[in-house]
Chains A and B, each alone.
Chain A
Amino acid sequence: MTKNLLEVSNLQMRFGGLLAVDQINFSVRKNEVFSVIGPNGAGKTTVFNCISGFYKPAAGSVVLDGVHIEGLPSHAVAEKGLVRTFQNIRLFKDLTVLENLLVAQHSQIKTGLLQGLFATPSYRKAEHEALKNAAAWLHRLGLTSVANRGAGTLPYGHQRLVEIARCMITKPRLLMLDEPAAGLNPQEKIELAKLIDSLRTDFGISVLLIEHDMSLVMEVSDRILVMEYGRAIATGLPLEIQNDPRVIKAYLGEE
């Protein structure tokens, strides 16, 4: 068994003639929270998109638990256990919170067309299971009361939680969160940090995180990668990164 859940090697992405991301190398271990930070425009989301199959990288490889996934379409990557959230919350806004959680279990519900049409016992059992899973997550996040409300009517912080729950309900191995703390108030950020930590301990998954909020990053991360202008400038433990002169220069400029 490979020690690393995710290995990214020599990742490169081009847009036309523009080299957006180059020479990105890092790995995420099992049960680890790994953060990618850097100034705006550093290419963090581009890296995310390359890993999760939304972009086809120009070069390099992405290996998930020993299996190459670079170049695979995004839904295939998700099927292999790598799911992600987006900078702009992409909930199904007109569907209810519950429906969002049910849809996410689509690939796990294996009943066929005819079984559904005639509501066979196996179909009803599968639906019941899915409902129970959704209810469990709603309960865990304290959102049971809004189960039948349109997902778009929820306050922003709750929408974020639903988005994460939606990812988790697919039983992933690696969860990628793209700026989950954006737009949250300090209380919500504390809750988020606790949630991310619990995902690692309670579900045994790894979390790959893009984030700007430094206190959140320092608190939850096991390791950090710093990017600037499409390249990696430092990798290491939170304390190391905090004191790395290259990182300080990237964020604050030369003194």
Chain B
Amino acid sequence: MSNLLPQFIQQLANGLTLGSIYALIAIGYTMVYGIIGMINFAHGEIYMIGAYIGLVTITAIGVTAGYPLPLVLGGALLVSVAVTGLYGFAVERIAYRPLRGGPRLVPLISAIGMSIFLQNYIQIGHGSRDISVPALVSGAVEFQLAGSFFDITIPYSRVMIFGATFVLMVALTLFIAYSRMGRACRACSEDMRMANLLGIDTNRVISFTFILGAMLAAVGGVLIALAIGKLSPFIGFIAGIKAFTAAVLGGIGSIPGAMLGGILLGLVETFAAAYLPAEYKDVVAFALLILILLFRPTGLLGKTNVEKV
């Protein structure tokens, strides 16, 4: 009985960690959907690319060369964020921009093609097998009450995920609320044509949205790679669908919704995995997605829309 509380807190920590990753990726989906009404199917692969670039950077800097951890980690994050952001930019320019304004099916299919392309592109460069990630961040936070079963271990790598996500979420919220570009983003997601007529460079805003989403996903990718200790080119697909579920759960188009949805999905999935056979936990995410879309398609923080005829 006394095991229950520490186990619960342990799972809570795991759930928050997982949820943070989902939130980071989900923001990319929700921002793009909010602004151009398209599901960026390739976004999951962008997350995976971010992880790989982080690993390449870490390997390039060389773990054993004795460089201090913050430098290696910071360097990996910086490089990954920059390059992955560039990938986000490139994908939009190449595969989506030429298709804007046409029937909705067309960019979606292009996105699927892009997703397949990117996944195989990474496989050509880095192979299709799992690659291990050096454990840069070791050690954990431990709570232990002497003489009882109360024992919680939260690895620093996971704390870092939650911490980084929290900081980024706050920064993003402030940015969207108070900066010029943030205002432009909000204007474009409300009414693109009007924003254009008012002189906002909508192309730049759209590119910015893709870049920002990719950057956040990259942070998630690098950190989770460090936490889990291995990488494969296939993590993008599942993570992408789940992050999209999170975005829908929170209300597609709403950034706080993506954050909330991500955390919630992470918690639900972690607790479900604790009580269901492990293989079924993926089913939980899909089932949740279907349920939300059936019963509350606007999500938790979204607004109900009456379709104007």
A and B touch in the complex (CB under 8 A): yes
A contact residues vs B (CB 8 Å cutoff): 15-16, 45, 49, 54-55, 86
Shortest 8 CB-CB distances between A and B: which pairs? A54-B309, A49-B309, A15-B306, A55-B306, A86-B309, A55-B309, A45-B309, A16-B303
Docked pose: A15 CA to B306 CA in angstroms: 8
Chain A residue at smallest Cβ distance from B307: A54
Q: What's the least CB distance linking B178 to chain A, in Å?
A: 26
Provide the bound-state CA to CA distance between A86 and B303, in Å.
Answer: 26
Q: In the complex, which residue of chain A has the Cβ closest to the Cβ of B304?
A: A16
User: Which residues of B come within 8 Å of A, CB atoms?
Assistant: 303, 306, 309
CB contacts (< 8 Å) of B306 on chain A: these are: 15, 55
B52 to chain A, nearest CB (A): 44
CA of A23 to CA of B303, assembled, Å: 27
Which residue in chain A gives the minimum CB-CB distance to B309? A54
Residues of B within 8 A of A54 (CB): 309
Residue of chain B at shortest CB distance from A90? B309
CA distance A45 to B306 in the complex (A): 14
Knowing that A15-B306, A54-B309 touch, tell me 6 more A-B residue pairs with CB under 8 angstroms.
A16-B303, A45-B309, A49-B309, A55-B306, A55-B309, A86-B309
Tell me which residues across on chain B come within 8 A of A55, comparing CB atoms.
Answer: 306, 309
8 contacts between A and B (CB under 8 A): A15-B306, A16-B303, A45-B309, A49-B309, A54-B309, A55-B306, A55-B309, A86-B309
On chain A, the residues within 8 Å of B309 by CB distance are 45, 49, 54-55, 86
A16 to B306, CA, bound (A): 9
A69 to B303, CA, bound (A): 27
- The residue on B at minimum CB distance from A14 is B306
Nearest Cβ on chain B to A232's Cβ, whole angstroms: 21
Measured CB to CB, the closest approach of chain A to B102, in angstroms, equals 14
Contacts of A15 in B (CB 8 A): 306
